[in-house]
Amino acid sequence: MENQIIEITDLTLKLNKAVLINNISLNIKRGHITGLVGESGSGKTMTALSMLRLLPPGIDIHTGTIRFNSSDGSFYPLESIPENILNRIRGNKIAMIFQEPMTSLNPSITCGKQIMEAIIRHKPVGRKEALEQTLELLDEMKLPDPSRIFKAWPHQLSGGQRQRIMIAMALSTNPEMLIADEPTTALDVTVQKSILDLLNHLGAKYNLSILFITHDLMVLKQIADDIIVMQQGEIVESGSEEKILCQPEKTYTKALIACKPKLEGNPARLPTIASLTGSTFERAEKKQSFPEKAPCIPLLTVQNLNVTYFSGRRKSTQAVKNVSFEVYEGETLGLVGESGSGKTTIGRTVLRLIEANSGKILYRGMNLTRMPEKEIRTLRKNFQIVFQDPYSSLNPRFTIGRMLREPMDIHNIGKSREERLAFIEHLMGQVGLEKDALNKYPHQFSGGQRQRIGIARALACRPEFIILDECVSSLDVSIQAQILNLLNDLKLIYGLTYIFISHDLTVVKYMSDRVIIMKSGEIIESGQTGQVYRNPEHEYTRKLIDAIPG
């Protein structure tokens, strides 16, 4: 039997009387990368946190054992050892990379000093030696100009760079095991691939045992030796990466694989776990909703758009450079590229949430860039936006009912309060929520439910054109499939036109009739979605497609 670094036996976690983790047993092999996969609420993170006894207040280890077998021959019952001994294991022998680096890094301390602090705390070294080790780690993380990164604050770095800082901090103590909790969620495909390649390299170089937590099974194809699938606090199945991905036995595992849009083929509807029966998925091809030959008159025309951000008297960044494109009534136009490519800036500039420096934005022939604010307000009901993070875009002090009614009141939509309430209740049903949700607040909903509320709010004004800005990027693959199916349904019901902004090329392919590829504020390639994906002309487009997991 292979050497196990972690052995969990009959583990049960409870919150009061509620069972969160139900009698699970699992082993993590030394030197292997083990994937732990499942939807939000399946118990992945709770299982990992129980190893270090970092569980939230009120959640207790009810039964079971967690044995850590150290490389020096000693073993530790992690569920019961004294806190002072556990503190010598946390960060030193078992390190953890948390899901969101921006909230895990201290915003008031430079990145280099945070790594140095971890080294000094766990190693018998002085500041000079800690500084040298920090710079070596930053270089090994393949960060550009380690001396500059050392002095940078977390907010000055990109998402991928912050994640590398977290990895450097975790590795600074030379741990035997690394727990990586959703380290690539919401990252661009190219950045995600670089992080996965880095973890593969570090695992092989240092003989690290890595527990990689994710909701996306396809990501594990690039990194995992073994995979454990969890659902509702229980282990559904486990085995080698090849067995789980190529020959899954359980319906839930098959559903997780099928929920994710693929580069090959476009099903009429994405399978969801809720709609799954047996192992049969709907395979009918999605019909193209927009003709290859576009109508003569576009709904929206963007001409030579330029947007520059200023951060001081002499510092400026040109976010959008001479961009031109059209959007035709009834189509979905995909806007894809890495973070910083200008996608979101274009979307917000089209809605006049950001002012353009030059260029034209024509909506049904009307020039929005020169239109007075008063006239823009009357038009706003016609074009809406669904933001990336529904939680931060929903007012936490408003009930959902008030939030949906407010834009209707402002734009005088509906003849009476009763008519508006009836339409809102109808909307809630269409986005898959109950009427009683109208009296609740945003914090009482899951991420997928909040995104449905964001869609309902956009529809409350009865628009004809909606910008969808990374609206599924941080959702589980199963919830993502539900939202994508919902958006396609609503498009047909209300005759909507979409600009679909995303860094996920598989999602863009599924949703879009035409696609625009952006890099550094410029359009580098555009065309019918199928054509661009089959025969990309630009090297950057090929790079993006090659980085797609699976």
The answer, yes or no, to whether residue 291 has pLDDT greater than 80, is: no
The answer, yes or no, to whether residue 285 has pLDDT greater than 70, is: no
pLDDT for 448:
84
Average pLDDT (115-142) is 92
The answer, yes or no, to whether residue 494 has pLDDT greater than 80, is: yes
Most confident of 134-148, 260-274, 322-336, 411-425: 322-336
Instruction: Give one DSSP letter per residue of 273-298, joined into a string.
Output: TTT-BTTB---PBPPPSS-SS--SS-
Strands, E assignment, 364-469 = 366-367, 383-386, 465-469
Question: Helix (H, G, I), strand (E, B), or coil: what is residue 391?
Answer: helix
> Higher confidence at residue 20 or residue 312?
20
Mean pLDDT of the chain: 89
Nearest to 61 by CA among 75, 46, 74, 82: 46
The span from the first CA to the last CA of the chain, in angstroms, equals: 30
* pLDDT tens digits, 372-419: 988 898 898 999 999 887 778 889 999 999 999 999 999 989 888 899
- Cα–Cα distance, 52 to 93 (Å, whole number): 11
Structure tokens at 404: 């949906």
pTM: 0.84
Q: Sheet of 59-69: strands edge to edge?
A: 18-29, 4-15, 59-69, 75-77
Average pLDDT (98-114) is 88
- Per DSSP bridges, beta strands 465-469 and 4-15 are unpaired
Q: Which residue has the tokens 């699938």?
A: 229
> Higher confidence at residue 155 or residue 467?
467
pLDDT for 284:
46
Q: Where are the domains of the chain?
A: 4-93+176-249, 107-174, 300-393+463-546
> Higher confidence at residue 247 or residue 446?
247
pLDDT for 500:
97
Residue 414: DSSP 8-state: S
pLDDT for 290:
57
230: amino acid identity, one letter: M
| % of the chain at pLDDT higher than 70 | 95
pLDDT for 190:
85
Question: Helix (H, G, I), strand (E, B), or coil: what is residue 318?
Answer: strand
- Least confidently predicted of 54-58, 160-164, 488-492: 160-164
| Residue 23 binned pLDDT confidence (cut-offs 50, 70, 90) | very high
pLDDT for 281:
43
| Residue 134 binned pLDDT confidence (cut-offs 50, 70, 90) | very high
pLDDT for 311:
65
Domain 300-393+463-546 classified CATH 3.40.50.300? yes
User: Thinking of the domain 4-93+176-249, which architecture would CATH place it in?
Assistant: 3-Layer(aba) Sandwich (3.40)
Structure tokens at 79: 């569920």
Domains 4-93+176-249 and 300-393+463-546 share a fold: yes
pLDDT for 518:
95
